[in-house]
Amino acid sequence: MSPYERAGARDGTPFRVLAVDDQDDNLMLIRRYLRTLQVDITTAANGDEALAAVAEQPPDLILLDVIMPGRSGFEVCRQLKSDPATMLIPVVLVTALDSREDRVKGIECGADDFLSKPVNREELLARSKSLLSLNQARKELEAARLAGEVRHRQTLRDAFTRYVAPALVDQILAAPDPLALLEQHARRHAVVLFADIRGFTRIAESLQPGAVVALLNEFFALLTEIAYAHRGTIFNMAGDCLMVGFGVPIETPGASASAYRAGCTMLAEFQHIARRWKQDFGIDAGLGVGMHAGEVVVGNVGSPSYMNFTIIGDTVNTASRLTDCARPGEILMSGALVSELRALGVALEIQTLAPMFVKGKAEPIDVFSARISG
């Protein structure tokens, strides 16, 4: 088989070559020589035409005359190599200039190779095919790199969407180093929400394991969807309890209002599940919610063999204690959270309760109740 068989990309499409020269005879000669390679050839008579042709459809190789009216081949080459969109296109300077200074100037302009005039057929074919193959290899490497980046970003997206509201995922992935978000430890102001099924111990004891798991999955699916709809982040699922953070790890405006609306929606929607559970299984279930606003520490916590991206601190503990005290169909909120909601102008239907001592607090905290009627 001839070494000058058809030159084309691996998908079967022919390579595109742009030949630039102000002499028609030279262009005709190049066309005749390259006919053996069966490439698609476009021609340009000067530098401006060449740049326009490249902008319209970037070629796989440029054969560029140096001495032309207007822009010289050196100028055209320098412009192409300074543009990220065209810098990888191989450029061969075709010139009668043969001094060392001219060669150095061509190299400084970014030329990939040189051909001397008059052009030798065998040399033209050999250099063209070599550079076309090199350019194809570059394209394949770049395509593989881009495909790898796509897979990497999809892996990150899949990882983040397990915890973070989809509305926040794009914001996280837009960061220069999304993984740094998981690796850093920082203090953030956040609203912490716990939601816990009341009476689930009795439910677990009265039903078969498969039914218990199915009910839990239904419960967590519902609450996760609600949390995500209000830009919440899932930090923990333990037993029959869900922990959600708002305004963390990405600061979001109106996090307090989002948390309050999420809690109210959870209570309202859980009533539908509870009624169906009562009808299908003869069990009584209720949902208690506790919420508190304050500073948390966010980051990876655990051991060398097991890590968990979570939030910790007094705010988390207080929200958990409030949840323990919440009755079925009730949200218990701290005074700190209610103050933030009032500052945001959120309409509240709440009842003021007596100050409550919670574990870990030396002084009682103000507590407010919101209930969803069945």
* Confidence grade of residue 4 (pLDDT, cut at 50, 70, 90): very low
What value does the mean pLDDT take over residues 340-345?
Answer: 95
Last residue of a domain, one of 104, 123, 146: 146
Share of the chain above pLDDT 90, in %: 43
Q: Is residue 100 included in any domain, yes or no?
A: yes
Q: Are residues 183 and 135 in the same domain?
A: no
- Label the pairing between strands 241-246 and 232-238: antiparallel
- CA dihedral sign, ordered 329, 333, 338, 340: negative
pLDDT digits (tens, 9 = 90+) for 347-359: 998 999 999 887 7
262 in any annotated domain: yes
CA distance 16 to 36: 14
Q: How many domains does the chain have?
A: 2
pLDDT of residue 104: 84
On whether residue 64 sits in a domain, the answer given is: yes
Say whether pTM exceeds 0.75: no
* pLDDT, mean of residues 143-152: 74
**What is the chain's Cα-based Rg?**
34
- 289 in a domain, yes or no? yes
Do 61 and 191 reside in the same domain of the chain?
A: no
Both 262 and 324 in a single domain? Answer: yes
User: Which pLDDT score is estimated for 266?
Assistant: 96
Q: How many CB atoms lie within 10 A of CB 329?
A: 20
Q: Is residue 1 predicted with pLDDT exceeding 80?
A: no
CATH of the domain at 66: 3.40.50.2300
Say whether pLDDT at 40 is over 70.
Answer: yes
Q: Are 54 and 87 in contact (CB under 8 A)?
A: no
Residue 257 has pLDDT above 80, yes or no: yes
Same domain, 140 and 185: no
CA distance 37 to 63: 15
The whole-chain average pLDDT of the chain stands at: 84
Instruction: Examine residue 120 and state whether it is found in any structural domain, yes or no.
Output: yes
Asked whether residue 2 carries a pLDDT value surpassing 50, the answer given is no
Task: Write out the residue range of the structural domain in which residue 117 sits.
Answer: 16-146
Q: Residue 38: pLDDT above 50?
A: yes
pLDDT of residue 15 exceeding 70, the answer is yes
Per-residue pLDDT for 9 more than 60?
Answer: no
CATH of the domain at 272: 3.30.70.1230
**Predicted confidence (pLDDT) at residue 183 exceeds the cutoff of 90:** no
Note the pLDDT tens digit of each residue in 83-129.
Answer: 988 998 999 988 877 677 877 888 888 988 888 888 888 888 888 88
**E strand or H helix at 324:** helix 314-325
- Whether 179 has a pLDDT exceeding 60, the answer reads no
